Amino acid sequence: MKDDQIQVLKADITTLEVDAIVNAANESLLGGGGVDGAIHRAAGPELLEECRILNGCPTGQAKITKGYRLKARHVIHTPGPVWHGGNQNEDQLLSDSYRNSLELCKENHLSSVAFPSISTGIYGFPVQRAAAIAVKTVLDFLGRNEMPRQVLFACFNEEAVKAHEKALQEMS
């Protein structure tokens, strides 16, 4: 794996110029708070119009739209799991969110994608545990597929940066 294929950044994901940014959405896909609210504000109302015709999305699955006023060409919307203590399939569902988002990149020939730390805000998933799942799922996928070529972890705070860097050091 090339050194720059995975990067951890402290960044507002709405500012990134990549082929796709991933939205930590909810099953309605009709917007919300956190990164979801920020993405909808930055993309403009056309994003919500396109989301309305998608008829929602189950937890762990992913759907793609255009990026509208964002610098990113596309938004991949995935509802991660709500944390219920760890015994309700949360780890698998979080991995599914990452893997299904990466599958959409592959299907749509998207080279670069940025992820927020899915489920670790309003949905309460512990950050270190989530980062380990995120990094493992991305490494597995990149090891088996040509696309995407570059994955960015767009962390909103220092705790998330440290968690992803630690997971990367331990696994790569």
Residues near ligand AR6 (CB under 6 A) are 12-14, 24-26, 32-36, 38, 80, 116-123, 154, 156-157, 160
Cβ count within 10 A of residue 33: 10
Q: Give the distance, in angstroms, between the CA of residue 165 and the centroid of all CA atoms in the same chain.
A: 16
C-beta of residue 159 within 8 angstroms of C-beta of residue 126:
no
Report how far residue 22's alpha carbon sits from residue 34's, in angstroms, rounded to the nearest whole number: 13
Please identify, using beta-carbon distances, which residue of 12 and 107 lies nearer to ligand AR6.
12
Please identify, using beta-carbon distances, which residue of 115 and 141 lies nearer to ligand AR6.
115
Residues annotated as catalytic are 36
Cβ 127 to ligand AR6 shortest distance, Å: 7
Cβ 146 to ligand AR6 shortest distance, Å: 27
Cβ 69 to ligand AR6 shortest distance, Å: 15
Write the single-letter amino acid at 75. V
Please identify, using beta-carbon distances, which residue of 25 and 57 lies nearer to ligand AR6.
25
Report how far residue 65's alpha carbon sits from residue 54's, in angstroms, rounded to the nearest whole number: 9
Cβ 32 to ligand AR6 shortest distance, Å: 2
- Where does 42-149 show beta strands of DSSP type E? 63-66, 74-79, 112-115
Burial class (CB in 10 A: 0-12, 13-18, 19+), 87: exposed
Please identify, using beta-carbon distances, which residue of 95 and 117 lies nearer to ligand AR6.
117
Do the strands 6-10 and 20-25 form a parallel or antiparallel pair, or are they unpaired?
Answer: unpaired
